[in-house]
Structure 1
Amino acid sequence: MRLMDFDMKTIGEPAVYVKDGDVFQLGDARIRAFLSPGHSRGSVCYQARKMLFSGDVLFYRNVGRTDLPGSGGWEEIVKSIRRLYSSLPDETLVYPGHRQATDIGSEKNQNPKVSQHSAQPTQK
């Protein structure tokens, strides 16, 4: 089976299944997992100290695509992002999988796709 140009037979089974809220210790850093479906059904963001590594879920003034095969859909990514907004301090730095860094407070107030002020988030 091929998926996104990877041969699934060569990837193998995961060594660990990550659950929402799992905390991992890496040196002196505690890393917390946030299951964040939307861009994909299995999207996960990781928080360490005052940083969030958001992968393809949350970008500077944008969000991950939800129109690809295997995505969790628009409603799911909106729910995931709003959960991040409500769970993390505004000063949390966000390092997405692409483009420039941002912070939770700026995205809550200025992300045209999903802000805390938009009752109906927009895909376009």
Structure 2
Amino acid sequence: MPQHAIFLRSSLTALLCAGCLFSATAWAQGSGAQVQRDRAACDGVQQDREACRREAGAAKQESQRGGLTPGDQAEQNALARCQLLQPAADRADCEARVRGAATSTSGSVMGGGVIRETVTPVPAPAPSPSR
């Protein structure tokens, strides 16, 4: 391999490592309330603490780039899908499921899944007249 290619590869590797170190240092020194909440959330979870902190740092970086959508945006998108994809008779039930009205929740993500159950009473059909 030519000498200049080795130098270029070494320089790029050093630059990449410096960038990683800088972003890790900036995250560790972050004083924002969200950073503190994210780091505190890593205590007491059934996940590797360092992996949790890496994910919190990645979320912070993505947030700074404007790549994360606000929390209410997901609900607005779900409600829009109810309007576009559901028949008119089912829209109210779809919107109630999105908002979590009359919904019971059980299970956990760590346990394999969260089950949400919504019960909608349906009246029995009227009896047919006897002859």
> Which structure features the higher share of strand residues?
1
Shorter-chain TM band:
under 0.3
Structure having greater relative contact order (Cα 8 Å, sep ≥ 6): 1
| TM value normalised by structure 1 | 0.21
> Which structure features the higher share of helix residues?
2
